[in-house]
A and B are shown apart, each in its own frame.
Chain A
């Protein structure tokens, strides 16, 4: 029997599902081992009998909550896919402003037609078994997690900071270029792709389990940067952690 996989999306850009469609060569092989029974972005037929549910997007409307709960009831394993589902992601930037004001800014007088609640990760509503981090997800990591789950194993997700991978990639430290960087506290697994391409880490994979915040503060001090500088950056993908406190 092939395992039945289902994909669902709530509020987000669907870029993580697109990454799954971006497998190209591997997609054909993956289909030898699994049945994708639900994937609205790519497929018409759907069924409610599935073992593994991949959920993309954060929860930003009351109506999404019962849908997510139903998925949790059906699936043996729920995997959060990407920063919006895992962390709340960029959607949480609206949480720093009253919802009424967000509605007014975007819809003006028509605001009364729409409902919205502060954005949150799916784990704030239902228990989540595994996380595939990133904005967007790294497709190799998605494959690794899927393979492990098909074999009945626990997927290994790094619990060390991006700095480790960044050093291995041979990059010049972003702090030495005078920029802020969330690499020291962010969970690795992305191979420091942003820094390798000349940018800095925005923390889209969320913090490691036990971030060394003292060491981050030391680095900031050494480079004449402030906690406020780093919080402004942290807020972009991890705003939920800040406002939920």
Chain B
């Protein structure tokens, strides 16, 4: 075996900064570290002393890629604290906005960030010349998702129309109609995406772990339900701290997590593993075509689970639009009465389960906040995957091992700005 000296300082094509270090001597692994040097942001401190309307305005700034997930978790935590009941129309719009972000984020990840690895290039940019159809398809899907988010949330990044208790602006029926046609056409692009993924060679690596996601008896859960684990069953979201168990490690500004085992996974694969039976028939068919079967223990299959979920997101969006068009949209004034209390918002961000936990005083001013970010919950699982992966591929070249490690990190689609509230590979 060759002496390994891997040192990837800032893994690319991920959101934020993370480092991988692998160090071997005389055939023995001395060190494998996944470290996060991202600048800490201090949101939990910054939100203190702010009025609830400003809290829910600032909290999405934790992350530019999943700002809708943070906005929704923030709004739902606040609604839970005040006891606000949401109308059916507002709930439908919130879900529609949410599906837009899931689609946007998944397309960005599997086409722009992960696919270049399978096609042997360093970024999506050269694919413009070699795989123009693929790039144009990716851009069409992304634009559709972004336009849908613009229409419902006012803007895709840091949306403003979604507030505590509902929405400040409603789409026109004519705009929904155009969106309905575009979403229906997008199903063809997604079918082509499934064909593309069928041809990709996904690394075969298996490590059993625990999968945690929201679960709702009524539907494939994104913004409602209890916390489900493939090991221990369901628990109410009020018990989230006993599930996430965050702890600090010296190499990272992001916290790490563990529950029933050494580590657990959240995200598209965790959702699929817990809730696959609730997917639509076409999404289930895509999973079958792509060889994804619950419970899947290969982290490189996360991107495949994202393709499957994208189909689901488009189909669900179509259903919601049908319903909104059938019942008509009416202006509603959010009914918010401020009161002292604590509330927890739990949602499935594209990268996994996200918690915002707020305590407010009787004037609606935040006194305490805790945010548990999906990527933080995955960091420890990434570390454990690396520890299992490296010995299994130790006879490959340093270059190949480095690439497999980077691909592994990318598969998790980490969102490191969020998690520090980290990514670099270091082979020393």
A residues near B, CB below 8 A? 10-19, 21-22, 24-25, 27-28, 31, 36, 39-46, 57, 60-61, 64, 89-91, 93-94, 97, 101-102, 105-108, 110, 113-114, 116, 135-136, 193-194, 196-199, 202, 232-233, 236
Contacts of B158 in A (CB 8 A): 15, 135-136
Interface residue? B69 (CB, 8 A): no
Evaluate contact between A198 and B139: CB separation under 8 angstroms. no
Q: Decide yes or no: A101 and B139 within 8 Å by CB, A15-B67, A22-B156, A114-B40 being known contacts.
A: no
Contacts of B123 in A (CB 8 A): 39, 42-45
Contacts of A202 in B (CB 8 A): 57
Separation in Å of the A131 CB from the closest CB of chain B?
Answer: 18
Contacts of B40 in A (CB 8 A): 60, 106-107, 114, 116
User: Which residue of B has the minimal Cβ distance to A99?
Assistant: B42
Residue in B143, B146, B154 whose beta carbon sits within 8 Å of that of A193 in the complex: B154
**B225-241 CB contact bits vs A (8 Å, 1 = yes)?**
00000000000000000
- Extra contacts, 15 of them, besides A11-B41, A14-B64 (Cβ < 8 A), are A15-B65, A40-B10, A42-B112, A43-B122, A44-B116, A93-B50, A93-B58, A94-B45, A106-B42, A135-B61, A135-B158, A193-B154, A198-B161, A198-B168, A199-B163
Evaluate contact between B168 and A11: CB separation under 8 angstroms. no
Q: Which 7 A-B pairs have the closest CB atoms?
A: A15-B64, A198-B168, A110-B248, A197-B154, A43-B123, A44-B122, A93-B46
Residue in A17, A114, A197 whose beta carbon sits within 8 Å of that of B160 in the complex: A197
Residue in A16, A197, A233 whose beta carbon sits within 8 Å of that of B155 in the complex: A197
Q: Tell me, in angstroms, the Cα distance from A196 to B253 when the chains sit together.
A: 38
Interface residue? B408 (CB, 8 A): no
Interface residue? B194 (CB, 8 A): no
Contacts of A21 in B (CB 8 A): 108, 112
Q: Which of the segments B12-20, B200-208, B257-265, B303-311 contacts the partner chain? A: B12-20
User: Which residue of B has the minimal Cβ distance to A113?
Assistant: B250
* Chain B, interface residues (CB within 8 Å), range: 35 or more
Q: Tell me, in angstroms, the Cα distance from A22 to B417 when the chains sit together.
A: 18
B residues near A, CB below 8 A? 10, 12-16, 39-42, 44-46, 48, 50-51, 54, 57-58, 61-65, 67, 108, 112-113, 116, 122-125, 128, 135-136, 139-140, 142-143, 146, 154-158, 160-161, 163, 167-169, 248, 250, 253, 417, 421
User: Which residue of B has the minimal Cβ distance to A193?
Assistant: B155
Q: Tell me, in angstroms, the Cα distance from A203 to B282 when the chains sit together.
A: 45
> Could you write out 6 A-B pairs with CB less than 8 Å apart?
A13-B62, A40-B10, A41-B13, A106-B40, A110-B248, A135-B61
Q: Tell me, in angstroms, the Cα distance from A136 to B157 when the chains sit together.
A: 7
Q: Tell me, in angstroms, the Cα distance from A94 to B253 when the chains sit together.
A: 17
Contacts of A22 in B (CB 8 A): 142, 146, 156-157
User: Which residue of A has the minimal Cβ distance to B170?
Assistant: A198
Separation in Å of the A225 CB from the closest CB of chain B?
Answer: 14
| Residue with the highest number of chain A CB atoms closer than 10 Å, among B67, B125, B140 | B125
Q: Decide yes or no: A15 and B63 within 8 Å by CB, A41-B15, A91-B41, A105-B45 being known contacts.
A: yes
Residue in A27, A45, A57, A116 whose beta carbon sits within 8 Å of that of B122 in the complex: A45
Q: Decide yes or no: A16 and B64 within 8 Å by CB, A39-B123, A42-B112, A136-B158 being known contacts.
A: yes
User: Which residue of A has the minimal Cβ distance to B121?
Assistant: A44
Q: Tell me, in angstroms, the Cα distance from A193 to B161 when the chains sit together.
A: 10
Residue in B48, B112, B157 whose beta carbon sits within 8 Å of that of A19 in the complex: B157
Contacts of B42 in A (CB 8 A): 91, 94, 102, 105-106, 116
Contacts of B124 in A (CB 8 A): 42
Evaluate contact between B58 and A10: CB separation under 8 angstroms. no
Separation in Å of the B65 CB from the closest CB of chain A?
Answer: 6
Q: Tell me, in angstroms, the Cα distance from A102 to B253 when the chains sit together.
A: 14
Separation in Å of the B421 CB from the closest CB of chain A?
Answer: 7
Separation in Å of the B86 CB from the closest CB of chain A?
Answer: 17
Separation in Å of the A79 CB from the closest CB of chain B?
Answer: 18
Contacts of B12 in A (CB 8 A): 40-41, 43-44, 46
Contacts of B167 in A (CB 8 A): 198
Q: Tell me, in angstroms, the Cα distance from A204 to B48 when the chains sit together.
A: 20
Contacts of A232 in B (CB 8 A): 51, 54
User: Which residue of A has the minimal Cβ distance to B116?
Assistant: A44
Contacts of B41 in A (CB 8 A): 11, 60, 91
Contacts of B125 in A (CB 8 A): 31, 36, 42-43
User: Which residue of B has the minimal Cβ distance to A40?
Assistant: B12
User: Which residue of A has the minimal Cβ distance to B132?
Assistant: A28
Evaluate contact between A28 and B45: CB separation under 8 angstroms. no
Q: Tell me, in angstroms, the Cα distance from A135 to B48 when the chains sit together.
A: 21
User: Which residue of B has the minimal Cβ distance to A204?
Assistant: B158
Evaluate contact between B58 and A13: CB separation under 8 angstroms. no
Contacts of A94 in B (CB 8 A): 42, 45-46
Q: Tell me, in angstroms, the Cα distance from A42 to B126 when the chains sit together.
A: 12
| Residue with the highest number of chain B CB atoms closer than 10 Å, among A46, A106, A107 | A106
Contacts of B421 in A (CB 8 A): 106
Q: Decide yes or no: A13 and B67 within 8 Å by CB, A61-B39, A114-B40, A193-B155 being known contacts.
A: yes
